[in-house]
């Protein structure tokens, strides 16, 4: 007598499939596959084997709370359905006595997310059985040529999808330092937290059915994730804080990885984690995007423009001492700013604008009502196509705006200088499969001083003026109507004189006499050169103030006045010293000091302004791995650190982490460190993943927050 075919057991072959889909680091016992690539499952039957003439099998794959065939969130397909309406494919691989091996493949445009796999079996004489075979997670596939995130280079795929650690560049263009970061996109539960993040978005909350249907688009996903990394509009991952007051949270400089942040967000019921700044937003977004399968890297732009009024000009205001006026600074030049690039096709744009796209999760300006930025094509930024989606105008201004300096005195504003080369320098990212820094400035802008660079800027300006009225300080005349091509001045690149010297025929420049170190006095000179055939009597007002990395100034802590008489063609230097006792109480976490001088000649209304940003350096943490590292074998790690100051520091805490090396972040309470005292600790861990790994460390105290260190470790699989 004929019987209905009954499923006894389903083997999703998670371990084998995950290896083939490059997801074995995420899990070996849960099925995590990539779209556009087949995976195998085995069906075991109770009573008999599959008989093709007698049994008909239909597979159903569903995602989201309201699966819909029309929207592509529900797929129904069978062995004979490859030419039917569903783009999902099922192939019979092997038919054995009581089992069936099946190959399934999601289309390369399928929505990513968590899926439920079902089966319906119609047998001879009307027997019908239905089963839930199990859940699986579907991700983007940069290994699949038909996927919109396809990346041809295997070394690039390894770096921008698989690598779970890296460096984020900070400091200033004159002192670029790598900050080690644990992305940890394959750590336990991170994939679930990333999917939870999508479900907490406003898009999902308002219309879950449509949101899930659109998750096949990397453009759409990237905008959703970008908005969810900050918490300005929703229950996003991070609260931003640039106030220097972090008593109710974590100083952004103390973080060394994304895993602790994402797990805290999840554990607290999706309450925003306090606090983040640009590099933290970008690092967490990198973790989420790599986890979802979109190639992503972290980018640092030194001297980054924040053009709030959208006129491609950064306006900076100074008083008669050369001090930046905070209360007038709406536009800013960030000492450095960090964002992401994600790799994807852009079928929504004209041909040629796919590839790397700028995504900036730091909440600066709104985009279609939400705090997100991008994706903006890097190629479009370079070519000045600022009208292309999304937020290309704002991204262009970050790397290529002009900088206008104004003197505010006696209730009036006097234009000091228009600098065409200040914004956008040493645009940096980690090199592929290397710890070196890769300078990618040329992918964002043509070379300074070239005709192409100026033509692109003017093209962007024309596009801007075609769509909006002129911004501040442009009402009476167009300041760009006779702007010469950009040029590289003979002046020091990190201490430009901001007033053209052809008026006063005087050049000013700051020069450091020694490397500025945290805890030591700062020695420098102001160099004045008279390039005219006449005598010059100069009055110079000097000042120093700490800066935050976003360009925001703190109160001045040092001032001086100098009177210099210069013979024709004479050069003089004025020595200056800022004592540690003068700046120690005013130093920001970023350890940035701006020194400024505003000069004027007797009986002349003309002014000349020069400034220089000093980054105070400090010794890093040294990490030694004692012996070879093997999976599941104890490993001893020695950490050596010191207090760089000539005074004791308190509340010292050392943190260590590293994906595949530590199950969770390690915190060691150190307490008090004596002046210039060097200390070391030894701890043990048991690596649980093989391959190239990295340990990241941070030392904080009541006087400094971010002394960093790292150590690369190769973990052998052992016997």
Token pair in block for residue 525: 């000179």
Q: What is the pLDDT of residue 658?
A: 98
Using alpha carbons only, give the angle 117, 121, 125 rounded to the nearest 5 degrees: 170
234: annotated active-site residue:
no
Q: What is the reported pLDDT for 240?
A: 96
Active-site annotation holder among 179, 226, 270, 278: 278
Sheet strands (E) in 443-521? 506-512
Q: Given 164, 360, 419, 494, which residue is catalytic?
A: 360
pLDDT for the residue 418: 77
How far, in Å, CA of 629 to CA of 625, rounded?
A: 8
pLDDT of 489: 30
Please state the residue numbers annotated as binding site.
400, 402, 448, 453
At CB < 8 A and 24+ separation, what contacts does 241-250 make?
241/274, 241/275, 241/276, 241/277, 242/277, 242/548, 242/550, 242/552, 244/548, 244/554, 244/588, 244/589, 246/274, 246/275, 248/274, 249/273, 249/274, 249/275, 250/274, 250/275
The predicted structure's pLDDT at residue 537? 93
Instruction: Specify the DSSP class assigned to residue 160.
Output: I
pLDDT of 498 reads 40
How many of the other CB atoms lie within 10 Å of CB of 468?
A: 12
How far apart (Å, rounded) are the C-alpha atoms in residues 149 and 37? 14
| Distance from chain centroid for Cα 183 | 11
Return d(Cα 613, Cα 590) in angstroms, integer: 12
Burial class (CB in 10 A: 0-12, 13-18, 19+), 208: middle
Q: Which residues are within 8 A (CB) of 22 and not within 5 positions of it... i.e. 6 or more apart? A: 34, 143, 161, 162
Q: How far apart are CA 349 and CA 334, in angstroms?
A: 30
Sign of CA dihedral 225, 226, 227, 228: positive
Residue 228 and residue 234: Cα distance in Å, rounded? 7
Strand, coil or helix: 323:
coil
Q: Kindly tell me the sign of the dihedral angle through the C-alpha atoms of 226, 232, 234, 239.
A: positive
Q: Residue 468 has what pLDDT?
A: 64
- As given in the structure block, the two tokens for residue 321 are 């001492």
Q: Which of 21, 337, 417, 549 is catalytic?
A: 337
Closest CA to 13 of 87, 78, 75, 103: 103
Torsion angle of alpha carbons 233, 235, 238, 241, nearest 10°? 50
Active site residue 373: no
Query: Which residue ranges form the domains of the chain, and what is each CATH number?
Result: 7-139 (2.60.40.10), 154-441 (3.90.260.10), 506-615 (2.60.40.10), 622-715 (2.60.40.10)
pLDDT number for residue 126? 82
Q: What is the separation, in whole angstroms, between the first and last Cα of the chain?
A: 54
For every residue of 354-417, DSSP letters joined together read -EEEEE--S-SS-BTTBS----EEHHHHHHT-TTSTTTHHHHHHHHH-EEEEEEEETTEEEEEE
Specify the pLDDT at position 549. Answer: 86
Residue numbers belonging to the annotated binding site for Ca(2+): 400, 402, 448, 453
Q: Give mean pLDDT in consecutive 10-residue pieces for the chain, a chain of 719 residues.
A: 82 98 96 98 94 92 97 93 73 94 98 98 88 97 98 98 98 93 98 98 97 98 97 92 93 97 98 98 98 98 84 86 72 92 98 98 85 96 97 95 86 82 93 97 93 93 77 34 33 39 78 94 96 93 92 91 95 96 92 94 86 92 97 97 94 97 96 95 97 97 94 91
Backbone angles phi, psi at 677, to 5 degrees: -80, 135
Whether residue 307 contacts residue 397, with contact meaning beta carbons closer than 8 Å, is answered with yes
Structure token digits, residue 213: 């249907």
- Residue 346, both tokens: 């852009």
Pick from 248, 280, 264: which is nearest to 362 by CA? 280
Q: Give Cβ neighbours of residue 490 (< 8 Å, ≥ 6 apart).
A: none
Q: Within 13 Å and on the Cβ side, how many CA atoms surround 494?
A: 18
Contacts of 411 (CB under 8 A, 6+ apart): none
DSSP state of 162: I
Is 266 tagged catalytic?
no
120 burial (CB, 10 Å; 0-12 / 13-18 / 19+) is: middle
pTM above 0.85, yes or no: yes
As a whole number of angstroms, the distance between CA 229 and CA 294 comes to 16
């Amino acid at each position: 007598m004929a019987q209905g075919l009954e499923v006894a057991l389903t083997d999703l072959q998670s371990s084998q499939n995950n290896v083939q889909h490059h997801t074995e680091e995420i899990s070996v016992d849960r099925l995590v596959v990539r779209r556009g690539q087949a995976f195998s499952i085995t069906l075991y039957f109770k009573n008999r084997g599959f008989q093709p003439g007698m049994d008909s099998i239909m597979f159903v794959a569903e995602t989201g709370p309201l699966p819909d065939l029309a929207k592509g969130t529900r797929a129904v397909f069978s062995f004979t359905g490859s030419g039917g309406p569903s783009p999902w494919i099922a192939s019979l691989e092997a038919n054995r006595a009581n089992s069936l091996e099946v190959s399934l493949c999601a289309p390369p445009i399928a929505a990513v997310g968590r899926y439920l796999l079902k089966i319906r079996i119609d047998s001879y004489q009307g027997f019908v059985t239905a089963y839930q075979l199990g859940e699986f997670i579907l991700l983007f596939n940069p290994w699949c040529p038909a996927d919109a995130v396809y990346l041809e280079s295997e070394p690039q795929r390894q770096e921008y999808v698989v690598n779970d650690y890296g460096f984020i560049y900070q400091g200033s263009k004159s002192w670029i330092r790598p900050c080690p970061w644990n992305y940890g996109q394959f750590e336990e539960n991170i994939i679930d937290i990333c999917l939870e993040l999508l479900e907490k978005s406003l898009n999902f909350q308002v219309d879950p059915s449509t949101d899930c249907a659109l998750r096949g688009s990397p453009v759409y996903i990237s905008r959703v994730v970008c908005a969810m990394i900050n918490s300005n509009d929703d229950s996003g991952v991070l609260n931003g804080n640039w106030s220097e007051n972090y008593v109710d949270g974590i100083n952004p400089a103390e973080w060394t990885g994304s895993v602790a942040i994402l797990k805290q967000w999840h554990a607290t019921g999706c309450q925003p984690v306090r606090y983040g700044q640009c590099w933290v937003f970008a690092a967490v977004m990198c973790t989420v995007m790599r986890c979802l399968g979109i190639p992503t890297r972290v980018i640092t732009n030194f001297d980054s423009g924040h053009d709030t009024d959208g006129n491609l000009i950064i306006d900076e205001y100074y008083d008669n001492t050369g001090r930046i006026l905070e209360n007038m600074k709406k536009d800013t030049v960030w000492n450095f700013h960090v964002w992401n690039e994600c790799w994807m096709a852009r079928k929504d744009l004209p041909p040629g604008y796919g590839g790397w796209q700028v995504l900036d999760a730091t909440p600066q300006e709104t985009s279609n009502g939400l705090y997100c930025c991008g994706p903006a094509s890097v190629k479009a930024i370079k070519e000045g196509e600022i009208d292309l989606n999304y937020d290309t105008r704002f991204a262009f201004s970050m790397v290529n705006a002009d900088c206008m300096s104004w003197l505010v005195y006696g209730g009036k504003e006097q234009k000091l200088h228009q600098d065409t080369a200040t914004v956008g320098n040493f645009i940096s990212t980690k090199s592929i499969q290397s710890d070196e820094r890769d300078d990618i400035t040329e992918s964002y802008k043509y070379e300074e001083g070239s005709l192409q660079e100026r033509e692109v800027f003017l093209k962007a300006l024309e596009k801007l003026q075609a769509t909006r009225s002129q911004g501040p300080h442009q009402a009476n005349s167009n300041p760009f109507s006779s702007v010469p091509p950009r040029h590289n001045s003979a002046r020091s690149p990190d201490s430009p004189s901001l007033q053209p010297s052809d008026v006063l025929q005087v050049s000013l420049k700051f020069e450091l006499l020694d490397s500025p170190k945290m805890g030591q006095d700062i020695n420098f000179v102001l160099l004045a050169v008279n390039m005219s055939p006449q005598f010059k009597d100069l009055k110079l007002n000097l000042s120093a103030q700490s800066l935050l990395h976003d360009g925001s100034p703190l109160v001045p802590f040092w001032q001086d006045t100098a009177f210099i008489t210069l013979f024709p063609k004479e050069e003089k230097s004025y020595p200056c010293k800022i004592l540690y006792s003068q700046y120690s109480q005013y130093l920001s976490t970023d350890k940035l000091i701006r020194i400024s001088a505003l000069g004027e000649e007797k009986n002349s209304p003309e002014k000349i302004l020069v400034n220089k940003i000093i980054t105070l350096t400090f010794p890093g943490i040294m990490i030694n791995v004692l012996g070879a590292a093997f999976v599941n074998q104890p490993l001893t790690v020695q950490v050596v650190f010191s207090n760089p100051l000539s005074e004791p520091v308190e509340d010292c805490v050392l943190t260590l982490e590293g994906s595949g090396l530590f199950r969770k972040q390690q915190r060691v309470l150190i307490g008090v460190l004596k002046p210039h005292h060097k200390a070391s600790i030894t701890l043990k861990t048991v690596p649980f993943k093989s391959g190239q790994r990295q340990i990241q460390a941070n030392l904080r105290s009541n006087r400094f927050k971010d002394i960093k260190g790292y150590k690369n470790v190769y973990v052998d699989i052992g016997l």
